[in-house]
């Protein structure tokens, strides 16, 4: 895994970053978001999803929300679907198979909050790992890794 970039971020910087990532995303990409509660994972995911809809010139979903309770929320676009997962409540890898995570991923974009259970049990060839560390109330340290060297 290769570290691509690391930077300090406030909310405005995080929204700009999510739009930049949306601009280079491709079908089949995985985005694993790691960080403590309140670190910015869901904020990034919401802005990223909104940016993909804007890039595809598609009406925004009425509500982009955290998939904490349903575990997955899908957002269909013209040529692919965005799957937004939250694995905070999952306990083992068998639960991943029950939600068909791998069948949904090949020609779509997958965003996973709390990805440890999937990263510890499966191999991926193309993914981004974005770590969010809380520096203070308004500032985060964002570290971006990719499975390949020149992804950004």
Please state, in angstroms and rounded to a whole number, the distance separating the CA atoms of residues 38 and 24. Answer: 26
Please state, in angstroms and rounded to a whole number, the distance separating the CA atoms of residues 50 and 28. Answer: 18
CB contact at 8 A, 80 and 107: yes
pLDDT at 152 over 60: no
pLDDT at 150 over 80: no
Q: 63-79 pLDDT, tens per residue?
A: 888 888 889 999 999 99
Tokens representing residue 142 in the block: 């964002």
Q: 122-132 pLDDT, tens per residue?
A: 877 789 999 99
CA–chain centroid gap for 27, Å, is 13
Average pLDDT, the chain: 90
Q: Which pLDDT belongs to residue 41?
A: 95
């Amino acid at each position: 895994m290769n570290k691509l970039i690391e930077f300090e971020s406030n909310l405005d910087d995080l929204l700009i970053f999510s739009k930049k990532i949306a601009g280079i995303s491709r079908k089949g990409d995985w985005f694993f978001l790691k960080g403590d509660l309140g670190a910015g994972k869901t904020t990034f995911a919401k802005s990223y999803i909104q940016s993909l809809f804007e890039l595809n010139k598609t009406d925004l979903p009425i509500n982009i929300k955290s998939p904490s309770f349903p575990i997955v929320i899908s957002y269909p676009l013209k040529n692919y679907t965005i799957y937004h997962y939250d694995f905070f409540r999952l306990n083992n890898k068998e639960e991943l198979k029950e939600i068909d995570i791998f069948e949904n991923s090949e020609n779509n974009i997958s965003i996973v909050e709390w990805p440890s259970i999937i990263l510890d049990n499966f191999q991926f060839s193309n993914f981004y790992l974005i770590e969010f560390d809380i520096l203070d109330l308004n500032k985060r340290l964002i570290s971006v890794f990719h499975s390949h060297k020149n992804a950004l």
